[in-house]
Copies of this chain bind each other. A is one copy, B any other.
Amino acid sequence: MTAAASTGLLTDRYELTMIDAALRDGTADRRCVFELFARRLPGARRFGVVAGTGRLLEQLQRFRFGDDELRFLRDNRVVDAATIAFLQGYRFSGSITAYREGELYFPGSPIVIVEGTFAEAVILETLALSILNFDSAVANAATRMSIAAGDRPLAEMGSRRAAEHSAVAAARAAYIAGFGATSNLEAGRTWGIPTMGTAAHSWTLLHDTEEDAFRSQIDALGIDTTLLVDTYGIEDGVATAIRVAGTQLGGVRIDSGDLPTVAAQVRDQLDALGATGTKITVTSDLDEFSIAALAASPVDAYGVGTSVVTGSGAPTAGMVYKLVARQAADGSWVPVAKSSTGKASMGGRKAAFRTREHGTATSELIVVADGFETLPDTPGHPDARSLQVTIVDGGEVDAGAVGAAGVAAARDHHLRVREELPVRALALSRSDPALPTVFVDAAAS
């Protein structure tokens, strides 16, 4: 894509017009704290999953304005010469503190905190939100599917139902939230995620007979492969599969029909044919609810498409990026917040902790600084862990949070912290958040 070299224009115009005005009136250099958070959990879910921070760091490193970007802004009179000069030298030199990727979040959790001058921090609003809102929406859905699937393997195969680059991000987010593999090859290359997939209906239709198609697939991919058996009739398909492959066939895939009924029939048929070790994969419009409904069915693996890449009813996490504190002309910190109807937010710098009792999470504890107070490293609670890590320090990106290693670490972290949740948090029904968010004043903590 033409934008590949630079991510600078993945930005809403108003960020640049604000910088334009701020450079004129002298406020561009005011130190600011922006906070990225969610007012609520989309879809009335019980917890959220932070995903996208590793991607944000990679995009941040390419958030530059080169000649092409500057020419566009100049030719279209988006900003004046002073702003062009500012953008030409733009490098984020501030700091970013964030929830570890894979961490859980709740309403009001300070997921990402960006500190820097107004100009260098405000300009990251759209990029940060785009990435976190999409990736977390997918992770929020994926973790529920992962919980519903239990120990059965779960693969993401929804690339075709998301825009082409979102598909790669979706595979990544689903993997962090507990999926085990993806159909998307670019996600395999870029993020080190295991890839899977064998054949589509077109494979069977290409051949003169289903038998020809199965035979050829086995010749090429081996007896361990999974044959798609529902192009014509499932019963005939299964019979043909075992006739061609023998009873050592790796698996069959079913992509249509009423799955609890069909899975039971196919299992009976496979067993009757002696193919007791042949696995059944189902892939037809699954979501967390239909996966849960298949828990007692003889299904060995799930493939999920549309629902995971579209957030299963909540395609954006709805996070916002708000100025919560700034320095006044005298250098003091001023907490700030919009106070108008319906969209109020909580001003002030924040430190976040998850309190626990006997190893089970009990609250999201957020310590708020009204002014200059130092935020604590630990809150006044006997068992609480800090949720924030520094991922950018003076413009330097934490190398451990990016790339395939960052993804693997995020997945490990997610699966570990999910274990801390109280059992009620794992239910799929709509509910209030599983943990209360508790704000306390830094001066009192």
Query: With A195-B76, A206-B323 in contact, is A163–B185 under 8 Å at CB?
Result: no
- B315 close to A232 (CB less than 8 A): no
Across the interface, which residues of B come within 8 angstroms of A14, CB to CB?
Answer: 183, 197-200
Counting every copy of the chain, the complex holds 2
One of B12, B16, B231 near A340 (C-beta < 8 A): B231
A129 → chain B closest CB, angstroms: 4
Whether a CB of chain B sits under 8 angstroms from the CB of A318 is yes
One of B21, B59, B134, B340 near A216 (C-beta < 8 A): B21
- A202 close to B163 (CB less than 8 A): no
A390 → chain B closest CB, angstroms: 23
- A306 close to B310 (CB less than 8 A): no
One of B3, B161, B196, B219 near A190 (C-beta < 8 A): B3
- B30 close to A206 (CB less than 8 A): yes
- A163 close to B135 (CB less than 8 A): yes
A170 → chain B closest CB, angstroms: 8
Interface bits A191-230 vs B (CB < 8 Å: 1, else 0): 0000111111111011110001000110111000000001
Across the interface, which residues of B come within 8 angstroms of A162, CB to CB?
Answer: 130, 133-134, 166, 316
One of B133, B184, B338 near A12 (C-beta < 8 A): B184
- A13 close to B164 (CB less than 8 A): no
- B306 close to A318 (CB less than 8 A): yes
Whether a CB of chain B sits under 8 angstroms from the CB of A301 is no
- A255 close to B343 (CB less than 8 A): yes
User: Bound state CA distance, A321 and B189, in angstroms?
Assistant: 25
- A186 close to B216 (CB less than 8 A): no
Whether a CB of chain B sits under 8 angstroms from the CB of A444 is no
User: Bound state CA distance, A131 and B4, in angstroms?
Assistant: 18
User: Bound state CA distance, A220 and B216, in angstroms?
Assistant: 69
Whether a CB of chain B sits under 8 angstroms from the CB of A384 is no
Whether a CB of chain B sits under 8 angstroms from the CB of A167 is yes
One of B59, B198, B321, B336 near A164 (C-beta < 8 A): B59
- A318 close to B161 (CB less than 8 A): yes
Across the interface, which residues of B come within 8 angstroms of A22, CB to CB?
Answer: 203, 206, 216
Query: With A163-B135, A316-B162 in contact, is A25–B118 under 8 Å at CB?
Result: no
Interface residues of A (CB under 8 A from B): 1-5, 7, 9-18, 20-22, 24-25, 27, 30, 32, 34, 59, 68-69, 72-73, 76, 78, 80, 118, 122, 125-127, 129-131, 133-135, 157, 159-169, 183-186, 188-190, 195-203, 205-208, 212, 216-217, 219-221, 230-234, 255-257, 306, 309-311, 315-316, 318, 321-323, 326, 328-329, 336-343
Q: Which 4 pairs, one residue from A and one from B, show the smallest C-beta to C-beta distance?
A: A4-B4, A14-B197, A21-B220, A129-B160
Given contacts A17-B220, A315-B315, 9 further A-B contacts (CB under 8 A): A3-B190, A10-B186, A15-B197, A27-B216, A68-B189, A80-B220, A163-B169, A165-B165, A230-B338
